[in-house]
């Protein structure tokens, strides 16, 4: 396997002029993950089962890449073993996660949505249900499953109670949270819905809804401001409930996103 790794590393190095340096680094990491899971040309299934989704995703992508670009029976065998180990639906999820499951946190400012401070941190709304296969867990890292809150507001207004966290998701993400909330409910009930994940990778989307702003399950490379999102009365009421339960204090001039969400969401029902 080391010889195989050396061959593909040489291929990448020799082609560096035509490859973006970041892409080069990503494939090197993926190949490293793959090498750790293979011994004497055989996939170590125990290691595969223990690996988190991102390591599995990189190893699967690397195996497919190797089989495609390296003319080697060994590369084909390793790829075959990994592909035969992963059910088709989980393989699809891993490849989607490898494409959409990374580096989203810096796309929009971390403004705390309760007090308006600039030092907000992204807090997870839902956690994966315990029976969910690892291949699907990348979805719980998506932006729409997080809300930005500073440490003080997180400790005061973001309890372990999932109902309160649900209100935060509705208030911050508007109609985008509706699609993600539905999919989380399916996972929690033990269901694995299928849909056109090539067109809508994040969640199923009703006919006629195609935009990020309108709630389609699409990914924006550069996330626009959250104020452009559509919010109905349901989402504005969630913001009002949070304001009533966790009253705002401090300087009047400080920008308070919850208040702005209520004001700018009017007329969008």
Q: What is the pLDDT of residue 2?
A: 37
Distance CA 243, CA 64 (A): 50
Match 């293979």 to its residue by tokens. Answer: 38
**In which element (H, E) is residue 23 found?**
helix 21-37
Rounded mean pLDDT for each run of 10 residues along the chain, 269 residues in total? 40 45 55 69 78 85 74 71 84 90 68 88 94 94 92 91 93 94 96 93 88 88 73 93 84 67 68
Q: Do residues 77 and 89 touch, judged by C-beta distance below 8 A? A: no
The phi-psi region of residue 58 (left if phi > 0; otherwise alpha if psi is between -120 and 50; otherwise beta) is alpha
* pTM (global) more than 0.85: no
Provide the 3-class DSSP secondary structure of residue 225. coil
End-to-end CA distance of the chain: give it in Å, rounded. Answer: 59
Quick one: DSSP state of residue 256? -
Torsion, Cα 45 51 52 57, to 10 degrees, reads: -60
DSSP labels, 56-100: HHHHHHHHHHHHHH---HHHHHHHHHHHHHS-HHHHHHHHHHHHH
CA distance 190 to 144: 21
Picking from 114, 106, 115, the residue whose alpha carbon sits closest to that of residue 143 is: 106
> CB neighbours of 26 closer than 8 A, spacing ≥ 6?
58
Q: Residue 148's beta-bridge partner residues?
A: 122
Kindly compute the dihedral angle of the four CA atoms of residues 229, 233, 234, 235, in this order, to the nearest 10 degrees: 30
Q: Which two tokens stand for residue 178?
A: 């509706």
Q: According to the model, what pLDDT value does residue 1 have? A: 38
Q: How many residues does the chain have?
A: 269
DSSP summary character for residue 183:
H
Q: Which residues contact 31 (CB under 8 A, 6 or more apart)?
A: 5, 8, 9, 62, 66
Contact 194, 139 (CB under 8 A): no
Q: Do strands 42-43 and 38-39 pair parallel, antiparallel, or not at all (unpaired)?
A: antiparallel
């Amino acid at each position: 396997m080391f010889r195989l790794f050396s061959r593909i590393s040489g291929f990448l190095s020799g082609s560096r002029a035509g490859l973006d340096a970041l892409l080069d680094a990503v494939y090197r990491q993926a190949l490293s993950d793959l090498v750790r899971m293979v011994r004497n040309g055989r996939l170590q299934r125990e290691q595969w089962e223990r690996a988190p989704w991102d390591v599995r995703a990189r190893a699967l992508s690397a195996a497919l890449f190797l089989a495609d670009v390296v003319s080697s029976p060994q590369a084909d065998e390793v790829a075959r073993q990994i592909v035969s180990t992963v059910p088709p639906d989980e393989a699809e999820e891993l490849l989607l996660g490898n494409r959409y499951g990374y580096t989203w946190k810096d796309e929009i400012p971390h403004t705390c949505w309760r007090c308006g401070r600039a030092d907000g941190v992204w807090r997870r709304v839902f956690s994966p249900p315990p029976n969910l296969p690892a291949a699907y867990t990348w979805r719980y890292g998506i932006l729409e499953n997080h809300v930005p809150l500073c440490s003080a507001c997180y400790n005061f207004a973001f309890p372990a109670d999932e109902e309160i966290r649900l209100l935060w998701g509705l208030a911050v993400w508007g109609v985008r949270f509706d699609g993600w909330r539905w999919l989380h409910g399916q996972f929690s009930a033990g269901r694995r819905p299928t849909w056109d994940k090539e067109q809508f990778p994040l969640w199923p989307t009703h006919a006629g809804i195609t935009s990020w702003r309108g709630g389609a399950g699409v990914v924006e490379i550069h996330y626009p401001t959250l104020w452009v999102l559509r919010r109905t009365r349901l989402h504005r009421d969630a913001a009002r409930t949070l304001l009533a339960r966790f009253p705002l204090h401090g300087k009047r001039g400080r920008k308070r996103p919850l208040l702005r969400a209520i004001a700018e969401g009017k007329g969008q029902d």
